[in-house]
Chain A
Amino acid sequence: MKDFKSKIEEHKKRFEKALSGVKDEKSLQEVRNAFMSRKRGELKLLFEELKTLKPEEKAAFGQMVNDLKIHIQEKIRVRGELKVIKKESAALKASSGKIDLTLPGQKEYWGSPHPILLFQQEIENIFMAMGYFIEDGPEIETDYYNFEALNFPPYHPARDDWDTLYITDDLLLRTHTSPVQIRAMEKRKPPIRIITPGKVYRRETPDPTHLPMFYQVEGLVVDEGITFAHLKGTLEHFLKTLFYEKIKIRFRPSFFPFTEPSAEIDIECTVCAGKNEECRVCGGSGWIEILGSGMVDPQVLKNVNIDPEKYSGFAFGLGIDRTAMSAFQIPDMRFFYENDLRFIRQFTLK
C-alpha cells in the first residue's frame, strides 16, 4: 500500500521536473505526451495499475490518482497559456543560462485620454462631490434658449460678445452651455444643483487664445435663500481643489445679461504669481480671468416660471480649454485640436 502512494509521489515529482524543463511548445508537447497520452502516458499506466489493486485499496488510491491527473492537466494548460515559452528560451540563450534582470520590464500600450476631457472630468468630480448633477443638452439650439430666455433681447448689443454661428434665422450653434440651464430649470423644481459641461461655438478666427469651438462648464444652483456669499464659497472651494489650496482668488464686478449682480473671478497667475511684469500668461497684471458668474437674473427665473421672490440662485461658467491652459501652462489653444499624439500622450501621466 505504501508502495503505491510513494509511486504516485514519484510520478508527481517527475512531472514537476519535466515541466520545469519546458522551453518551448515542442517540449511542452513532449511532457503532455509522456504523462497524458491515452495509450502509453504515465497516468494511463498508473490507472491500469490501479485496476490490479484490491477493492479497498482501489477506493483509497483512486482519488489520489485522479487528483494527480487534474493537477497535471491544469499545470500543462496553464503553462501553455502563459505563452512565455518562446520568449524565455530566447532570453535564456541570449544570457547563456541566466536572464539579464536589468532589461526593462514588459510595457503595455495604454491609450491616453484627451487633456480637455481629462480636465473636464476633474472638474465634474469636484462638483459631484458637492452634490451637483451633470446635465447635457443640444449643441444646435434655438435663439430662444441661447439668447432670449437668458435675457438677451433681439438686437441687443450684448449679443456682440457672443458672436454666433447661425444655421437658420432661428437655429444656431450654442454660444454657451447656458441653454442647458434653462432647459433644466424648465423640467426641474428647486432645489436645483447642476453643472453643464459641453462643446460651445463662437464665430472666431483661430488664434492662440480663440477658437470657433471650445469646451465650457457652467453651473447653476437655485434654492430658497441662495446668496452671493454661497457663490463665493462654492467657487473658492472649487478653485482651491482644482489648483492649490493657497491660490489667491479675486471677485470683481462684471456684466452678463443673465446674472445680476454679476462677477468675474480671477486667480493669481499660475506662472509668475504677479512677479513678472513681462509675463506672457497674465500680461503682467498677475491675474488670470477664469470664471464668469453671478446671481441668476430675476427675469431669467421668471422666464422658467420660478418665483424670484421665493427662490434665488447663482450661476457660473468657465472655459475648460483656457483653464487647462493655465493649469498646464499650454501657450496655444490650438494644440488641443491638432491631436498630435506626442501632445496627447503626455497626459497619460496626469
Chain B
Amino acid sequence: MIISLNWLKDYIEIDLSLPVLIEKLNMIGLMVEDWEEKGSDVILDIETYANRPDTLGHLGVARELATALELGIKERKWPLTEIEQKISDLADVRIWDDELCPRYSGMVIKGIQVGPSPEWLRKRIEAVGLKPINNVVDVTNYVLFATAHPIHAFDLAKISGRKIIIRKAKDAEVLRSLEDSDISLTPEMLVIADEKKPIALAGIIGGEESSVKESTQDVFIESACFDPVSIRKTSKKTGISTDASYRFERGADISFPPQAALMAASLLTQLGGKAAKGIADVYPKPKKEKTVVLRHHRISDLLGLELDGEFAERTLASLGFQAEVQQKGVWQVKIPQFRVDVEREADLIEEIARFYGYDKIPASLPPLRALELPVDQKRERINKFRQLLFCNGFDEVLNFSFSDPEKEARLQTGQKAIEIRNPVSSKASLLRTTLLGGLLENIVWNKNRGAEGIHLFEIGNAYFWQNETNREQLTLALATTGLVGPVQWHRKSEDTDFFRIKGALESLMTYSRYEPFSFKEKDHAFFEQEYSLAMIFKEETVGYCGLLKKNLLDSYSLKEPVWAAELNLALLFEKQPYSFEFTPVDRFPSITRDVSFISSRSVLYQDIKEVVEKLAIPGLMEFDPHDRFSGSSIPSGKISLSLRFVFRHPQRTLLAKEVDTLQEKIINA
C-alpha cells in the first residue's frame, strides 16, 4: 500500500523524524518496505496483509499509528450543497442477490462540470501513483485511497430507466469495459445492471458506456459491499484485478457505504455539483456487530507476561473496539465492522501484543516435559550413506524436481510421469521419474567448465503415477566420469570405471550391514547391454548400475563413458539390515596363501567364488582376487587370476602342513 505522509497528516498530527516513524510502523506490523521523498511529501510503501483490508487506505494506517503514538484521529466534516429533488425520484436501487451484495448505497450529484481536478486533489492522486483523469473519477479514487472503501461513479443519464439492479449475469451477456474490451459474462458473476443490460462488473470494473465523460452532467455514486469470494472468483476468471477488486476480495466494512458515498458527494458539491436529497441505502439484512469475550488471564497465558488490564482497554478503544467489563478479569468486546479479521479472543490478544511491543515481551525457554524415541532410522541411514559416499569421493548435488518432457522421454524409465498443470515453464512441466537426468546435466555443466573428473550423487525423490496414485520414491543416483582424484606428484590419476560405481555400492551395503547382497547381470533402459548389473538384497532388486547408453550420452553431447547407478532407497530402507553383534577377535595368527591359475576368459569370478564357497573349507576366513591379467605370457582367450586365501584356526596356530592340504583341495577343485 502506497501511503503519502502528507495525506496521513490529514488524520493525525505526526511530529517524528522519518527513521523513527518507519521504526514505529514496522514494530506494529506495518512494514515499510521502501520510501521516497517527493517534493514536500514522503511516499511510503507499506506491506499490508491479506487479513487487513482496513489498512489499504490512509485512514486505517492513521488509526494504527495513532494508537501506537497515543494520539487521536482528527475528525473531518463532509458538508453538502443539496437541491430539493429527492434521490428516490432519480434512481431506483434493487438488490436481487443479497448474498453477493449485502448492502448497496447510492447518491446523485447533479450539474457537475466534468474537468480537471483542483491542485490539492491532483496531488493526492499523484502521490499514490495514479494519473489524475477528471474531477469525478479522481474523487472516487480519493475516497478509495483515503478510506479503503472502493466506490464507483456512473453517468446517470446512461442508466437506462434510472434503474440500478444488482443481479447475476445472464448467459451470453457482455460488458464493454473501460479499456474498450468485451468481457464475456457467465451466470455466477455479479453485475450492476440497468433496465436493459449490465453496466458494471460488480466491485471490479465499470462499463465503458455508463462511465463519466466530459459530457456527463449528473452522476450516480455507487458505494456498496460485495461478497469477497464471488469477487475473487470473477476477478480470477476474467483476469481483471483492480484497486477495487483487490479490496473487496479481502472484505469491506459493511457499516461504511453511506459514509463513503457522503464523502464523495461532499467533495463533488465542493467542485460545483449539487446533491439530490437523501441516500439510497439498500441493506436487507443488517449485520449484527460481533462481540468477543476476552479473559485477562488468557493474555498472560498466551504471551507469557503480566499485562495491565488498563493498557488492554486503552489499546482496544484506540483501535475502535469497545471493551466492557463483564466481570472481574473478563471483557465483552464489540468488534468494529471495519475489522473483518477479528473474530476470536486470540485475535484481540494479538492486537494488545502488537501495541505492547513484541520487543518488550520477555524471552524464556519452554520446559522439556517429554522426550520421544525415534520411530525409524531413515534420517540416520541417509546421513550414513552420504558420509560413505563422501569417503568414496562423490560430491553431493541438488537438482530441481522438475523435468523437461523431451529429456524425460529419452531416459525411458517406464514410469508414468506426474505433470504440473501450471508449470513455471514448458521445460519444467513434469516431475522427474529418475535422478540421473539431473546428474547428466551437472556433468555437462562441470565439463564445460573444465572439470576433468566428475563424481556425483544425489539423494531425493523420484515421482510417478502408480495405479492412479501419486508416488514419491526416495532414490539415490550416482554417476562417475573422467579422472579419479587430484593429480599428484607420486600417484598417477586414473580413469574412473565400472568398479568405482560398484565399489561405492558395495561399501554402502557393507557398512550399513545390508548383507548379504549380490549382483546379477540384467538389462536396464539406462545401460549398455552386458554392462548392466542389478543389485539384489533379500531377493529384491534394490538398484542398478552400469555404463550409460551411448545414445543417451550423445544426447547430452558427452563423449567419455559415464558409469552410473540408481538405488531405490525407499525399498531398501524398508528392509532391515542384520543387527550388529560383536565377534571375538581371533587370538591365533593367520596364514596367507596365494594361488595363481590360468582360466578361460568366459569363466566368471562369481562362478569360481561359488565353487570355493561350496567346498566349505574349515579355517578359510576370507579370499579375494588380488591380481588378474592377460598378455603375451598368457595364451589368448585366457587370463591369469591370483587369489589370496587367508586361513585361521580359532583355537590354535595352524600348521603349514594343514594349510597345504587345504590349498591342495582348492587347487583340485
Contact = CB atoms under 8 A, between A and B. Distances in A.
Given A109-B486, A113-B386, A165-B422, A260 B398 contact: no
Interface residues of B, number: 95
Interface stretch (B144-152, B193-201, B388-396): B388-396
Contacts of B490: 87, 90-91, 103, 106
A197 B449 CA distance: 32
Interface stretch (B6-14, B44-52, B533-541): B44-52
B396 A117 contact: yes
B616 interface: no
B365 A234 contact: yes
Contacts of A201: 401
B419 interface: yes
Contacts of B363: 229, 232-233, 236
Interface string B350-375: 10011000110111111011111010
A298 B350 CA distance: 13
Interface string A314-350: 0000000000000000000000111111101100000
A108 B391 CA distance: 9
Interface string B249-268: 11000000000000000000
B46 to A, nearest CB: 13
Given A106-B490, A113-B396, A227-B303, A260 B346 contact: yes
A297 B460 CA distance: 32
B28 A253 contact: yes
B83 interface: no
B29 A255 contact: yes
Interface in B581-632: 589, 591-592
Interface string B392-424: 111111111110000000000000001111111
Interface string A112-129: 111011000100000000
B575 interface: no
Contacts of A251: 358-359, 361
Contacts of A209: none
Interface in B21-68: 26-29, 31, 49-52
B324 interface: no
A104 interface: yes
Contact of A340 (B29, B49, B449): B449
Contacts of B653: 66, 70
Interface stretch (A1-9, A13-21, A52-60, A153-161): A153-161
A277 to B, nearest CB: 11
A80 to B, nearest CB: 9
Contact of B390 (A104, A111, A130, A230): A111
Interface string B324-367: 00000000000000000000111101100110001101111110
Given A113-B396, A228-B303, A234-B365, A73 B371 contact: no
A237 interface: yes
A87 B491 contact: yes
B390 A113 contact: yes
Among B229, B396, B592, chain A packs the most CB atoms within 10 A around the CB of: B396
Given A139-B461, A337-B398, A337-B400, A230 B364 contact: yes
Contact of B391 (A90, A110, A191, A336): A110
Nearest to A314: B366
B396 A340 contact: no
Contacts, number: 240
Contact of B304 (A106, A133, A134, A228): A228
Nearest to A201: B401
Interface string B457-472: 1001101000000101
Nearest to A251: B358
Interface in B485-500: 485-486, 488-491
Interface in A289-331: 295, 297-299, 312
Given A227-B303, A339-B397, A173 B362 contact: no
Contacts of A73: 589, 591-592
Nearest to B486: A107
A111 B457 CA distance: 9
A167 interface: yes
Nearest to B390: A111
Contact of B50 (A136, A167, A255, A295): A255
B436 to A, nearest CB: 14
A148 interface: no
Contact of A345 (B233, B346, B395): B395
Contacts of A193: 368
- Pairs A-B, 4 closest by C-beta atoms: A229-B304, A227-B304, A253-B29, A255-B49
11 contacts: A109-B486, A130-B368, A139-B401, A155-B229, A156-B50, A157-B250, A167-B421, A193-B368, A255-B51, A312-B302, A339-B456
Given A112-B395, A263-B358, A298-B344, 7 more contacts: A91-B490, A103-B490, A112-B396, A157-B249, A227-B366, A261-B346, A295-B302
Interface of B: 26-29, 31, 49-52, 228-229, 232-233, 249-250, 301-305, 344-347, 349-350, 353-354, 358-359, 361-366, 368-372, 374, 378-379, 383, 386, 389-402, 418-424, 428, 431, 442, 445-446, 449, 451, 454-457, 460-461, 463, 470, 472, 484-486, 488-491, 589, 591-592, 653, 656
